[in-house]
Amino acid sequence: MENNISENNKTSDCSALSLSDQESAERKYDADANEAGLHFKKGIGWKACFDEKRGIYTAERSWRGFYQLCEIDKETYDKLDPTGKNGEDPDKLIGGGRVLVEADDDYYTMPYCTVKDDNYNELAPWSRAKERYERTYNDDKGT
């Protein structure tokens, strides 16, 4: 499938990317992250990271508009199982960590984003927290 890029406005249509292109880009990102000492575990609705160089464990979880970024410990990281076969609930494990950022923009509540640690982007630069924060407050301003 070809990548549709308009010559007039130079914007790309992400829907034109095939699944294999998206997977390839994600694998390249993961390979670069491993070189930087970042190790990831991913499951449905969650992603966790161990920053080997700094000894920091962080994780994010999201579902239907809800988003949370937490600092977790090694024990929690080790219990997270992408296959789900160990019987541990990743939402409960991650949610038991120290909350750095929490956001919600579902149908039932007013959109909000609460930053509980201003260093969240330094602790977890890989996360989508900054994007969620900016989207919540830019949408409120009508931009």
If one counts every other C-beta atom within 10 angstroms of the C-beta of residue 101, the result is 24
Which structure tokens are listed for 125?
């630069």
pLDDT at res. 58: 98
Q: Is the pLDDT of residue 99 over 90?
A: yes
| Residue pLDDT, tens place only, 61-78 | 999 889 999 999 999 999
Q: Is the pLDDT of residue 11 over 70?
A: no
Residue with the bigger pLDDT between 17 and 129: it is: 129
* pLDDT, averaged across the chain: 80
Q: What is the arrangement of strands in the sheet containing 66-72, beginning at the earlier edge strand?
A: 38-43, 46-51, 56-63, 66-72, 98-104, 112-115
| Residue pLDDT, tens place only, 25-51 | 555 556 666 667 899 999 999 999 999
Question: What is the pTM for the complete model shown?
Answer: 0.73
